Amino acid sequence: MEEVDEAKLIREREDDQGEEGEEEEEEEEEEEEEEEEEEEEEEEEEEEEEEEVEEEGEEVVEGNRREGK
């Protein structure tokens, strides 16, 4: 009987450890996804800033042409 109980306890412990491992993996995946989203947002912001700078530069060039510079 003791061997059966011991085997049952071992299986339960392994199950618990497996669940903890799965939870940790899920948390890590969520963190990675959040980091990727943040990186994408930063890239989008940088692209928008670059576009604004380009537009401002084009406006200056057009203004200079009009003024004959």
Looking at residue 20, what is its pLDDT? 76
Is 49 domain-assigned? no
Is 30 domain-assigned? yes
Exposed/middle/buried for 3, CB within 10 Å: 0-12, 13-18, 19+?
A: exposed
Is 66 domain-assigned? no
Is 62 domain-assigned? no
Query: 61 in helix, strand or coil?
Result: helix
Per the structure, how many domains does the chain have?
Answer: 1
Tokens standing for residue 57: 């530069």
Give residue 39's domain range. Answer: 12-43
Most distant CA pair in the chain, distance: 100
How far apart, in whole angstroms, are the C-alpha atoms of residue 30 and residue 2? 42
> Over the stretch 16-68, which tens digit does the pLDDT of each residue have?
887 777 888 899 999 999 999 999 999 999 999 999 999 888 877 777 777 77
Assessment of whether the complete model's pTM goes beyond 0.85: no
